[in-house]
Chains A and B, each alone.
Chain A
Amino acid sequence: MPRRASAPAAGFDFAGLVRQHQAMVFSIAWHMLRDRAVAEELAQDVFLSLHQHLAEMESPEHVQFWLRRVTSNRALDVARRRQRRPMVSLENAPEPVALTPTGDPLLGTALKKLVAALPEKSRAIVVLRYQEDLDPAEIARVLGIPVGTVKSQLQRALALLREKLSRSLGEIGI
């Protein structure tokens, strides 16, 4: 965990931290939950919690690590609670329509939907890998799971996404 004392706790400007990290916190929640209102509520709760723990923060890196960990874990909790309601699994999810290769907003939307249909833990791993650009060791630290689990779940998630997408692209003849 990054705990280098490069800035004293007393030196943190809370409003500045919110402005600096709101996109990261909100996006982790948004990509995990696909519900803007719930994601904003969760992000606010995370920053409220940060305010209560601000005295424990030892460096800007520590703040960022703490925010990623708390946001991921809370989003996982919400996603698990939601999963009790009937949901469509990735294998049974409807195929995305009108896909075209690279840079297409529709492809992006389809990918987001497919990511949202992944199992919660795999979803969190994919979001931290491709939104936050973390390597497997960093993801393992954030989620508190072994690196091997991160690597295997990431490979499995990518294989599922690739299979689903290629099937869709094949169907529309690309």
Chain B
Amino acid sequence: MNLEDELRSALRRQEASPDFTERVLARVAAAPVRRAPRVSQPWIRWVAAVAAALLLAAGGLEYRDYRGERAKDQVLLAVRIAGSKLNKAQRKVHMLAHRSNS
């Protein structure tokens, strides 16, 4: 007796009941529809990650430009204020010089 041959014979495949397929299909039809996962493919995740990185980079550049513009405006304002103060001081110096001469 060959044990392995006997096992192959004893454990050969057997058919399920004749209506097995129909019962499976009925259960499938009755089962609630499972929603597919939102992101099922790895490449979609990569594309989403790259898009997010690009958006962040663009946003960062935009913000840097905005900060630059604001800084420029502030410098110009400071220069204007300093200029006006300087003009006032210059006018006072002229007035004092004019009085001492007369």
- Chain A positions near chain B (C-beta within 8 angstroms): 14-15, 18-19, 22-27, 30-31, 40, 43-44, 47-48, 51-52, 55-56, 101-103, 107-109, 111-112, 115, 126-127, 129-131, 133, 158, 161-162, 165, 169
Contacts of A109 in B (CB 8 A): 10
- Residue tally, chain B, CB below 8 Å to A: 28
Assembly CA distance A52 to B31 (angstroms)? 10
Q: Which 10 A-B pairs have the closest CB atoms?
A: A26-B16, A108-B10, A101-B1, A130-B7, A111-B10, A131-B11, A27-B13, A23-B13, A130-B11, A47-B24
Given known A-B contacts A22-B20, A26-B20, A161-B3, A131 and B28 have beta carbons under 8 A apart? no
Contacts of B27 in A (CB 8 A): 44, 48
Question: Is B34 part of the binding interface, using a Cβ–Cβ cutoff of 8 Å?
Answer: yes
Contacts of A131 in B (CB 8 A): 11-13
Q: How far is the CB of A128 from chain B (nearest CB, A)?
A: 10
B22-44 at interface with A (beta carbon < 8 Å):
23-25, 27-28, 31, 34, 36, 40
Contacts of B1 in A (CB 8 A): 101-102, 107, 165, 169
Assembly CA distance A112 to B20 (angstroms)? 23
A-B contact pairs, 27 of them (CB 8 A): A18-B20, A22-B15, A22-B20, A22-B24, A24-B13, A27-B12, A31-B11, A43-B20, A47-B24, A47-B28, A51-B28, A52-B31, A55-B40, A56-B40, A102-B1, A102-B2, A103-B9, A107-B6, A111-B10, A111-B11, A115-B10, A127-B11, A131-B11, A131-B13, A133-B8, A161-B7, A169-B1
- Nearest B residue to A29 via CB reads B16
Assembly CA distance A14 to B1 (angstroms)? 42
